[in-house]
Structure 1
């Protein structure tokens, strides 16, 4: 093999786990018994490995009792609650894919997601935080049964209020539904027959792509996809039964469900979900009260947690590492995490929903330089390449589209073969590759550098500019805690660089100071022509984000273009 080519392969050890989720649940219960598996302080609930196994059987039996069969989809729209874990594991036992629904959906978005994923059963919170979701449930119910808009939906289980009328699709309380799983008519032999039909290549989970642009699609993820991703990510974090993981990211996203819950579950650790949605004070309290050793999150979460710790003086005792995903962690933020939280080594993971999700991750043995400028190396049993527009593999150090292959690949998009074939294509050797849409470079050591989304490319006067390197430069400024760079329309150049910035602390640099700071390292053409500060008129108080915390750049582009079109006197 030409070692100069941007083609890399992950290790062949450790071996892939060949279990189904049912096997994993029962094996962990046998091994770890009464050890705490999941902790939900906001619900005052702690469940052991044995309790989770027992409760998953109850949920599975209740699903069978209502007539669900292998392959029928079960949806859930809720915050991070103990019922989420029980539903996921219960559906997994009997081959009913669990559709995790974004808890920021509007009623119309929810209706589309439930319809497109053909859910027959929906678990739904009546509220998440202060947000009332009774209207969402009414939308799903309709006014008659079946709901003409959702002809396959047979039942809704409410994770809250039980005050519903008799119209439309039947609504049951969670307690009532689970009591069906304790029925004498649903015995263990029936459950075991259903479990035996399940294979590790069956779909266990439908995850909708985050939908930062375009219509979300549902990635079909298998037992093998998720269990092995959890195995290798838990290994990278060096999790043991002595670890306590604090997990603020949502479970409707792979970060919370796979990198959080399953990675912890696979390693016999305990995991804490501090609140139903991100509440920074509850996160900090959970870190302290549960004596967490590992913290998960996107950089925006870490920034908020540091701000609370600076005000309250709270300090973790045992935090040893953290895992970040969604965007890079600057050297400045890395140093603050070390100084304030005691996190010596922060891991960076890269992937996408369609790859279960992680394909690259840094190591606890990597240098700070590698952990702040790269997304690490491939996880085992995967491969990656960087190609040009013609599909030719480039050389190390050259930028192109990143493609990945191996056990991580989704089965495809649910009932959407056309979109599946757009992004999953076989090469001349018959190897199936996922075309990520990310521009990347693989260096001589096999580390991947993600330089931006190909669709986020800024073309200034015919010159290609990738926002990520400008964002990294901006976030190295001590007065900036977050940055997002987008292309802003320009009459002369077509597009110029615009940036949205959040200050860290009290001092706000002048726009000229920011431009000089960027220009010192990156050159004039990459210097922001337009600078928008969060909190200013028309900009907004925070970055527009998806439910999983990713910046929505298409919204920022629209805001920036609108603001530069307003006469200066009105700004």
Structure 2
């Protein structure tokens, strides 16, 4: 019998310090063990549905295919601990590679599908990938062409001096040409002897199994190294909170290379024997809603910008979403008005909010499905099991309840470190505490509200200004679809407040109207000095707003304007 998840996580002694419940034990299991449990209990269930390619596998078929791909990797000389990169959008081959590498204990290296030549070269060499599994192309990216450019000797079977560790390139196409191995051929390399070798592989939950590169908004990306224990348990606890079962059908439009898709989506679903439905290789609002309606999905994942796009699509073309029950909105700050519309217009009355970061596998806080509406709209919920969180000031001292500070996280989910970068690891993790760089507030019940990033906080003339507060106010304007607030340098005040705003479809919106909307409603020093109405906001592949891009562009725009006026 599964016990209902405990929610006893109130702060201690009036301080912003919470510990997660311990009643549900940690899973001392590896990823292959997780899949084997799903096969034993739910083998005939649909496991994977990729609508764009038409691939559909039951859990039994999924596990058998994984073993054949794993044996194929063994035939290429891949060993436990070797790094295998994957550079692809959401495809069946991605998930098969995820589980096949885990089956033999090699470490999967997630490579952002948006990476170009220099970024790919950096990632492969930083962690020493011996094999790269790649799609041939995605959108405007010609992966095969880029690889030929980076490795001109590949066609002749010669090692590339630029990639001293790379032995093989596996492409997701039938005939990729000289020097490259078709992905489908891996299964054909699986001899009975190699399949038997899989049973001799010894794995432990604490061993590293995945490297995920942080976004690298400043400096080079860092490879967060995660273990079976990290991600198996986080995926399980995430789906516990949305009451996922083997009867649920989950639509996953978020990218697999990110923790949201790979851990919260795939591993979370496998932990319950649920069905995973992938609408397409990348997010498309119409495609995603069609998948929900056609497949009678009960759960849906997405970042706020995805839900905004789906709501807009629903306004133009109705779908029957009555099967939906739950899901997760995470990956960025979630506007209250968007959350309310998702509850009502998408039938997701049990949608939850999550907060976390790649380095913590990723989720630390999450709503419960029956939390009060205002708590599910205004906070990121309460702490996850087996974790500990403190909100600290600039000196590392725990602040009183209700005060803002940096979120520090400790427990099973904290990464083992940044691959090959001990100094960066030591700067990020202090005595087991992951210093997140995120600003939060805890209330008396243990609910956490995210108020921004330490680096995003604006200091204007000595006043601390938190962009999230202004964003939440502006998003309530009836003509505003999306907004991001950030600081730009100012000679007089040190920093000034700037807002980029996206209007709702068909609405006429002006900076003057927004400025008038703010007067008398928020403190004068919080009213943005600069408003810019834009068609879209610059985003990462995972839907996170890129404030540094907006900041740089705004500084350039203002400099050009002042130059023209001079």
TM score, norm. by length of structure 1: 0.94
Q: Which residue of 2 aligns with 1:353?
A: 358
Q: Which residue of 1 aligns with 2:241?
A: 236
Conserved? CA contact 2:510–2:533, under 8 Å: no
2: CA distance, partners of 1:350 / 1:372: 13
Task: Map Cα deviations across residues 394-445 of structure 1 (whole Å, 9 max, x no partner).
Answer: 111111111000111101111111100001111xxxxx11000111111111
Q: Which residue of 2 aligns with 1:551?
A: 545
Q: Which residue of 1 aligns with 2:16?
A: 6
Moved more, 154-163 or 439-448: 154-163
Q: Is it true that 1:77 corresponds to 2:90 in the alignment?
A: no
**Residues 500 and 191 of structure 1: CA distance in aligned 2, closer, same or farther (over 3 Å):** same
Q: Which SS does the other structure have where 2:199 is aligned?
A: helix
Q: Which residue of 2 aligns with 1:111?
A: 121
2: CA distance, partners of 1:337 / 1:391: 38
1: CA distance, partners of 2:84 / 2:116: 19
Q: Which residue of 1 aligns with 2:523?
A: 523
2: CA distance, partners of 1:163 / 1:124: 11
Conserved? CA contact 1:129–1:277, under 8 Å: no
Q: Which residue of 2 aligns with 1:219?
A: 224
2: CA distance, partners of 1:502 / 1:176: 47
Q: Give the alignment partner of residue 191 of structure 1, picking from 184, 193, 198.
A: 198
Conserved? CA contact 1:210–1:548, under 8 Å: no
Q: Which SS does the other structure have where 1:338 is aligned?
A: helix
Q: Which SS does the other structure have where 2:485 is aligned?
A: strand
Q: Which residue of 1 aligns with 2:147?
A: 137
Moved more, 475-484 or 348-357: 475-484
Computed over aligned residues only, the root mean square deviation of the Cα atoms, in angstroms, reads 1.7
Task: Map Cα deviations across residues 204-226 of structure 1 (whole Å, 9 max, x no partner).
Answer: 11111122332211111111111
1: CA distance, partners of 2:471 / 2:461: 20
2: CA distance, partners of 1:272 / 1:156: 28
Task: Map Cα deviations across residues 504-532 of structure 1 (whole Å, 9 max, x no partner).
Answer: 23223332221233344321101011111
Q: Which residue of 2 aligns with 1:174?
A: 183
Q: How many residues align?
A: 552
Task: Map Cα deviations across residues 271-329 of structure 1 (whole Å, 9 max, x no partner).
Answer: 11111111222111111111111111011101111111111122312111221112232
Conserved? CA contact 2:249–2:276, under 8 Å: yes
Q: Which SS does the other structure have where 2:187 is aligned?
A: helix
Structure 1 residue 137 displacement after superposition: 2.0
Q: Which residue of 2 aligns with 1:309?
A: 314
Conserved? CA contact 1:396–1:442, under 8 Å: yes
* 1:195-274 pair list within 5 angstroms: 196=202, 198-274=203-279
Task: Map Cα deviations across residues 308-352 of structure 1 (whole Å, 9 max, x no partner).
Answer: 111112231211122111223223212322332112132110000
Structure 1 residue 139 displacement after superposition: 4.1
Moved more, 292-301 or 340-349: 340-349
**Residues 531 and 309 of structure 1: CA distance in aligned 2, closer, same or farther (over 3 Å):** same
Structure 1 residue 161 displacement after superposition: 5.7
Structure 1 residue 257 displacement after superposition: 0.6
2: CA distance, partners of 1:174 / 1:122: 11
Q: Which SS does the other structure have where 1:359 is aligned?
A: strand
2: CA distance, partners of 1:321 / 1:163: 41
Unaligned runs of 5+ in 1: 427-431, 536-541
Q: Which residue of 1 aligns with 2:506?
A: 506
**Residues 202 and 142 of structure 1: CA distance in aligned 2, closer, same or farther (over 3 Å):** farther
1: CA distance, partners of 2:107 / 2:518: 48
